[in-house]
Structure 1
Amino acid sequence: MQRAVLVLGLVITSASAYSTKVQQSIISSFHASQFSLTRNCQLQFNEFFSNFTMDQYSWALQMADATSKIPSGLLSLNFAEMGDFQQCVSIEASTKTGTILGKYCLGSLIVKETTSSDHQNMRGMFSFEKFGVISLVLSVKLLWALCLPDGCTTDDANLVGNFLLTNVVGEEVGVRFSDLLCQTVKEVNPPLTNGAIVTIAILALLLSTVLLSTLYDIFCIFYGHKSCPMLVKGFSAYTNSKKLFKMTTPTPDQLPCLNGVKCLSMVWVIYGHTFSISRVSPVTNAKYLMEWTDNWYSMIIHSASFSVDTFLTIGSALMSYGFMKAKCKNVRFNLFLYYLHRYLRLTAPFAIVVLVSATLLKYMGSGPQWPLVDQTLQQLCVNNWWVALLYIQNYVNDTDMCVGHSWYLSIDFQLYLISPFLLCALWKYPKACLSFLVLCVLWFVGVSFYVAWVYELHAILSSFYGNPKNYEKYYYYLTHTRCVPWFIGLILGYYIFKLKQDKLRLKLNKTLVWIIWAVCFGTMLTCVLGGHSTLRGEEYDRWGNAFYIALVRPVWSLAVSWVILACTNDYGGPVNWVLSLPIYQVLNRFTYSIYLTHVTLLYIISYDRKRPGYFSNFNLAYDFWGILWFSAGLSYLLILMTESPIIVIEEILIRSFDKKKHRKRDV
């Protein structure tokens, strides 16, 4: 058995330039070592050694070959050696002791604390201290893989792995394996659960309904039937696709520039998520990734979170503007239907994403890190699906969210719940309510400052010395710290309504307009790049970080408000032309479903990788465009199965509700 470990060690180090010297070190250490492996592991290792040959079909050679080697590019911080996952789990050998399967274990390298001069020199050369801090921010990991017979336990893997690394690298480096990331072919191909079967049946039923409805709808159209049942049209891909891809000329009371703002904001969100989530997979040039993240231009990606504030501003502005228009036309307000409309529209597609996340994710791929999909994505939805569908998980379980990026939906829906009271007050008592909304803005700016001050939050997410978990837990996910742009949007929507209702136009001097636009763009650029050189140091600036966190999002929201106000009052110029292009009408109909699907898709792709990637600007852009269009295709199916039908179902329910009310009045 010990001789088998020796063979593994020799194969592992065969690629090293110093292989002869390292092999001699392993041999001398091997004779002085004693292992206490489990009985099954010892028996299988005996079989391993007796069957080890240099024949390419030797399962023992394949097992040794699938184990990690010393990689090249160590000076580039290439410590993400993952071996050959597919080769390891594909091993199946019949021996005297029974069938032996390949067991792949992915472990984390540990740099041990020591005072030896050689180790200190090594730590300085590879910048391990800084690398350890950055690994928290960038998800950069020190990885090492071992392929063993399946009779070996995780403890056996730790013994063998640490022995090999001790003789290859030295006592300064060790490895830690866990049961979670040790897999055989049985774990790679698990049987379908009852929940997975039910989910597949539901998806098949929805797709079948769409297909049959489409065929019947086409039959009605092309064979002389003037009318087709309303519910059938609601599921018809033909009718709904015509609506989805239709472009119309905006009417005077519409705000077409908002379509462009929303689409561009969603693109920014996807680009930011592509960077942050794709870094879950290890890279071979972690040093360059560190340097890239430390540069000012990385702030363009890290500042994608401002898109959330843009959506909050736009959402509340549309809500305020639409409510005022409805009241002006004497449309009766029904609180129950107001809430029902919002809940159905949000929840229909979201429920499908939650259902798939809770039942099917672990069957969608495989890889060294794939078990993390079940642990960090699927199990969270199994346990917390109901919290997600109630839109309260940003407060109830902020660290264990089902479909983690849905925290925005919780904030949006919670603010929607209080909106009727503010909108009614804004209609009846505009001056008093506007004053109250301004006070709300100032109050919650103060709340954000207080939270940042008390918990010593780091404002710049790419800072190597901050703790992003605290930033998310105490500030980023919470409604009371993120609501300021929403209040600003309510005020904006009201003033846009007043200007359009009274057929007024802002009368601004042309020079003043240019000055405001310059200030607006300068403000946005400052929000994106500001703080890079002043708030990223090792020494924490409490005042600077607290003021930045409290003010940057309200200021960004005010700049976005000017863009919208200018574009709706003929002061937008080329900006308004770009934002109001008809193509945005089409793209805007896909934004919600793309938002729901793209993050899960990113995690699936990242955890499914069998080899470390290479980070570059071109690869990042390539991944982004792939994710954008892949998620657009998925969102198209999601819209046909949920969003389009729910619009028709909602209309049927409202008609039924109105008929009952009319009958009661007649009686």
Structure 2
Amino acid sequence: MKILIFHIFIVIILCISGSYTDQCLDRIEAVKLTTSKECLSQLTKLCQQKDLLLSFWDSSSRQLHSGLMATNNEDLGNYDQCMSIDDADIKVKYCPFQWATQLPKNSLQEAVALVEEYNHFTPTKMLQLLQNDTFSNIVRFEDGGTEKITLIGSMCIPDGCTPDEFTAVFNPYILPVNYNVKDPTTNCFTKGAASKMSTFEIAATIGVCIPFLMVIACTAFHAWLHNKNAGEPHDFIKAFSVLHNGKKLIEISRGNPQQIQCIHGLRFLSMLWVVAGHTFASSEVLPHFNEKDVEQWRSHLYAQYILAGPYAVDTFFFLSGLLLAYGYMKQMTEVKATKQVKAIPLMILHRYLRLTPAAAALFFVSLSFLKAIGNGPLWIYMVDSINQPCRDYWWRYFFYIQNYSSEICYTQTWYLSADMQMFIVAPIVLIPAAIYYRRKLRLVVYALTALIVLCVGITIGVLYIVDDYKNDYDTHSRLSDYLVGIIGGILLHTCRTKAIKMKKVVNLAAWVVTLVVMLFLVLYLNDVLVNPTKDKTNLFYPIQRPIWCVCILWIVFACHHGYGGIMNKFLSIPCFQIGSKLSYSMYCVHAVVILYNVGSVRSYQFFNDYIILYILFGNIVVCLIVSTIWTLTFEAPMIILNKMLLGKLGSPKK
């Protein structure tokens, strides 16, 4: 194969050298009527500068290269070389994934065998060889073959031309290609395109910078008061002061009976699991040297440490329902039903103001200067593909209803939409529960359990009734997680002052059953992914979610009441409290961190477990740094301002 590539390259160079000067202008004249004036001018100059033309060709993808049988053949060319082309009259334009062609595999094998017969020959003999009909047919791949090798390539061309216009005159490909077959929406971009900002982007950037400036100013003023021993500043100053918010962020509580310590560990570890899953998913779509290894990796059981990441989202829904019910029971058990109903709007407003600032910051950062802070062959394409739904459907984003749409602004924010929707409907069950749980606790638990069964049944029914139902982000299929959490919050509140006694044998048996069930769910998920059937998919996904959450409920209950042993010690590690406080901002920003890493890729990547873990831990460290800034700038200030503006009336503490 290498010999074939080398010889074809020599022939191309010889053909260029021999006929370039005579035929170049004739080819330009032939396409004059179908080509723009700017492109014609640039093509004419390329006729006069072979070195410049070679730079364009050398920056573009090759059709024949090593590794055709192993890679996924989505070639990025040489982006940096393309962007480094410097000419006063011709600006460069990079076009990712612009063309595709197919090579019959057995034609390649015949070509290799034929070239081996001519292992030692001169360029003259090579030209004679090209006149041989058999070899010519093989090079043109006119004889078929059922097995095809698909090549997808990128191009570096003058900014005034389209790929079709450029290749009509200067075609570097010996095989026919089709343009824009992978993604018709893929756009070419010129050098410096990422740094150009529209009026809206400039205004959004200024808006994003205002909170940062307020944080700097308020922190400086707070520090000045502290050095002067002039007392504490106003609460508004504290809201944006890093000294105040940073102290709260690193503050660790020990032995507080009102806090469920193990929840911090569950929340933070679940967040790391989410980052792991999204890191793998993003790395999986990149071009790899060992594409077959990537395909086989999913079938390995040990790969479930990443592929079972969706269970982390179920844990988040469970914890959200648990904390809501636990706080609601503490505040509303002595309040009449009419007052509870009246408090619902204020309660929802508190929740909206709690979630929106950090999410809004993600929205405006993405639409403002994000494109300008990165570069790479896929950078602008990836940022635009994320930002387009944000521009078109911004109202879905801010009204938390985008999880029922196929176009989602930052895919991970579907969770925020589903969580907000569950929070809004939660009073339907929380108000009766707050009234009756003391007298009829069993009835409350049975009623909520019946609702869980109903939700699972509805989800299964939708999957069977609606053909090809593929919304993985709907709310109704996750409502069972939330309801299990509400049951857990009610039980924990009821038992908060009681001493729970349990025999060691019962405790051990419960732990064994819990861990075995969780392990089974993780491993069986692998079978569903590798060997999917309609019945497996339609039944397993709705049923496994509440079962997983029941297992998490046992872990929380046992750890909180002193039956967690080493598990409780691990989940209650003090530093997890800091990670837990950062988890919401981390959930918002981790996609940008992963996007930056993936969008900066220049060439084929090698895939194995070590490299994935290496990238994962790098993403985690960067996410912790960025989420700390995010928390101190957007999340923590709004928590204080929320209390200042609306107080605590009608809103359960979380």
Query: Same fold by TM-score, threshold 0.5 exceeded?
Result: yes
Q: Quote the offset at 1:25 in angstroms.
A: 7.9
1:401 correspondence with 2:394: no
Structure 1 residue matching 2:424: 3-state secondary structure: helix
Question: Structure 1: how far apart are the matches of 2:53 and 2:323?
Answer: 66
Stretches of 4+ aligned residues off by more than 6 angstroms: 25-35, 119-123, 126-129, 329-332
Give the alignment partner of residue 484 of structure 1, picking from 480, 484, 503. 480
Structure 1 residue matching 2:308: 3-state secondary structure: helix
Question: Structure 2: how far apart are the matches of 1:433 and 1:656?
Answer: 27
1:277 correspondence with 2:286: no
Distance 1:531 1:326, change over 3 A: closer
Per-residue CA deviation, residues 225-273 of structure 1 (Å, 9 max, x unaligned), is 1231111111111111111001121322321110111011000000101
**Aligned Cα root-mean-square deviation (Å):** 3.3
| Conserved? CA contact 1:445–1:551, under 8 Å | yes
Give the alignment partner of residue 388 of structure 1, picking from 397, 415, 418. 397
- 1:440 aligns with 451
- 2:134 aligns with none
Structure 2 residue matching 1:74: 3-state secondary structure: coil
1:156 correspondence with 2:168: no
1:320 correspondence with 2:314: no
Q: Quote the offset at 1:201 in angstroms.
A: 1.8
Question: Structure 2: how far apart are the matches of 1:612 and 1:181?
Answer: 21
| Conserved? CA contact 1:181–1:369, under 8 Å | no
Distance 1:232 1:45, change over 3 A: same
Question: Structure 2: how far apart are the matches of 1:107 and 1:581?
Answer: 48
Q: Quote the offset at 1:71 in angstroms.
A: 3.1
Distance 1:570 1:174, change over 3 A: same
Q: Quote the offset at 1:318 in angstroms.
A: 1.2
Distance 1:63 1:549, change over 3 A: same
- 1:450 aligns with 461
Question: Structure 2: how far apart are the matches of 1:181 and 1:567?
Answer: 54
- 2:376 aligns with 367
Identity of aligned residues (%): 27
Structure 1 residue matching 2:593: 3-state secondary structure: helix
Give the alignment partner of residue 230 of structure 1, picking from 211, 226, 235. 235
- 2:187 aligns with 181
Question: Structure 2: how far apart are the matches of 1:355 and 1:427?
Answer: 40
| Conserved? CA contact 1:89–1:101, under 8 Å | no
- 1:197 aligns with 202
1:107 correspondence with 2:97: yes
Structure 2 unaligned blocks of 5 or more: 112-140
- 1:19 aligns with 6
Counterparts of 1:287-306 in structure 2, within 5 Å, are 287-306=292-311
With a CA cutoff of 8 Å and minimum separation of 6, indicate the structure with the bigger relative contact order. 2
Structure 2 residue matching 1:377: 3-state secondary structure: helix
Segment drifting more, 482-491 vs 598-607: 598-607
Structure 1 residue matching 2:495: 3-state secondary structure: helix
Q: Quote the offset at 1:599 in angstroms.
A: 0.6
- 1:48 aligns with 46
- 1:565 aligns with 557
Question: Structure 2: how far apart are the matches of 1:609 and 1:91?
Answer: 20
Question: Structure 2: how far apart are the matches of 1:19 and 1:45?
Answer: 27
Give the alignment partner of residue 576 of structure 1, picking from 568, 577, 581. 568
Q: Quote the offset at 1:351 in angstroms.
A: 1.0
1:65 correspondence with 2:54: no
TM-score by length of 2: 0.83
Give the alignment partner of residue 494 of structure 2, picking from 493, 498, 501. 498
Read off the aligned partner of 1:101 and give its amino acid letter.
Answer: K
Distance 1:256 1:103, change over 3 A: same
Read off the aligned partner of 1:205 and give its amino acid letter.
Answer: I
Question: Structure 2: how far apart are the matches of 1:406 and 1:128?
Answer: 41
Structure 2 residue matching 1:253: 3-state secondary structure: coil
Question: Structure 2: how far apart are the matches of 1:227 and 1:527?
Answer: 53
Q: Quote the offset at 1:64 in angstroms.
A: 2.5
Counterparts of 1:239-638 in structure 2, within 5 Å, are 239-328=244-333, 334-395=343-404, 398-430=405-437, 431=440, 432-455=443-466, 471=470, 473=471, 476-501=472-497, 503-505=498-500, 507-533=501-527, 536-537=530-531, 541-638=533-630
Read off the aligned partner of 1:416 and give its amino acid letter.
Answer: F
Q: Quote the offset at 1:375 in angstroms.
A: 3.0
- 1:661 aligns with none
TM-score by length of 1: 0.82
Read off the aligned partner of 2:35 and give its amino acid letter.
Answer: T
Distance 1:232 1:391, change over 3 A: same
Structure 2 residue matching 1:281: 3-state secondary structure: coil
Per-residue CA deviation, residues 156-185 of structure 1 (Å, 9 max, x unaligned), is 256579x644x2xx56x6554767432222
Read off the aligned partner of 1:439 and give its amino acid letter.
Answer: A
Structure 1 unaligned blocks of 5 or more: 1-12, 53-57, 133-141, 458-469, 659-667
Q: Quote the offset at 1:28 in angstroms.
A: 8.5
Question: Structure 1: how far apart are the matches of 2:42 and 2:271?
Answer: 54
Segment drifting more, 628-637 vs 480-489: 628-637
